[in-house]
Amino acid sequence: MIDPAALSAPVLEYAFEIRVDVDVDIHLGRGPHEILAFTPITGGTVDGPLLRGVVLPGGGDWSVERDGTHQLEARYLLRAEDGAAIDILNRGYYREEDDGEPYFRTAPVFQTDAPAHSWLSRNQFIGLARDEDEQICIRVYVVR
């Protein structure tokens, strides 16, 4: 049995930033205590030390808002600089904190069969997100 005290704390390594262009939200309704919306993704960029490319148009972000917290699930495609296609499923949460600062965190999961990018399918990632200039920007870190 492994001693829990022997486990090292995770280290975050900056991998890249995804800048997603989005269209106007589409309100889908739901009920009196939650709101379901869809935000279409229209493009964007990927840039950083471990990956460069573009966000392909299509896909989108589904958001369910309950009591001021948005539960997010986005699915879309990236095209790496070398032409490889990469699927991303990005789940997370957004809310305004008591101090007015936003809590906007995601856990992206990537899929690709491109050998040069297989590391994306074999690691855990954390995203720190923000709204900026009509884009959703996600700084993606690989958990080491």
Helices (H) and strands (E) in the chain, counts: 0, 10
pLDDT tens, residue by residue, 101-122: 999 999 999 999 999 999 999 9
Residue 81 belongs to domain spanning: 4-143
Q: What is the pLDDT of residue 94?
A: 98
Number of domains in the chain: 1
Report the mean per-residue pLDDT for the chain.
Answer: 96
CA atoms of 115 and 3, how far apart (whole Å): 35
Q: 46 or 29: whose pLDDT is higher?
A: 46
Can you give the pLDDT at residue 82? 98
Paired sense of beta strands 34-47 and 12-22, if any: antiparallel
Whole-number Å distance between alpha carbons of 122 and 44: 24
Return the residue matching tokens 């990956």: 51
Residue 80: CATH number of its domain: 2.40.160.20
pLDDT over 90 at 2, yes or no = no
